[in-house]
Amino acid sequence: PLQVVGGKVKKPGKRGRKPAKIDLKAKLERSRQSARECRARKKLRYQYLEELVSSRERAICALREELEMYKQWCMAMDQGKIPSEIKALLTGEEQGKAQQNSTKLAKAAKTEANSSNP
């Protein structure tokens, strides 16, 4: 049975738009282009991941070297020796603390002098 809706004849069981007759060559070309773009994206993604892996590997090597250095320091300190790097760090911190204290004292003296002089 055919239905007439708004002057148009409709067949039952068929919904939506009819597939347009697409030129097969154009469809194949679009498919090829899409595949080319997909391969290019995949290539870029793999390059990015390879760079990420190599940078992480470099970071791991640097951290391993640092860990080995700390192990050497600990072994030296266990034998009663203080590594020169630690001495430098300690004296640098002490000098830094002394400078901070002297700066604080100078600022305190200035504020006292300013508050006592009207």
The reported pLDDT for the residue numbered 92 is 83
| Rama region for 6: left / alpha / beta (φ>0; ψ in -120 to 50; rest) | left
Cα–Cα distance measured from residue 62 to residue 66, given in angstroms and rounded to the nearest whole number = 6
pLDDT digits (tens, 9 = 90+) for 13-56: 666 666 566 688 899 999 999 999 999 999 999 999 999 999 99
pTM of this prediction? Answer: 0.50
> How many Cα atoms within 13 Å fall on the side-chain side of residue 116?
6
With vertex at residue 68, the alpha carbon angle to CA 51 and CA 53, rounded to the nearest 5 degrees, is: 10
Q: Delimit the domains of the chain by residue range.
A: 24-89
pLDDT digits (tens, 9 = 90+) for 79-103: 988 888 888 888 887 776 766 766 6
The reported pLDDT for the residue numbered 23 is 86
Cα–Cα distance measured from residue 57 to residue 53, given in angstroms and rounded to the nearest whole number = 6
Contact 83, 73 (CB under 8 A): yes
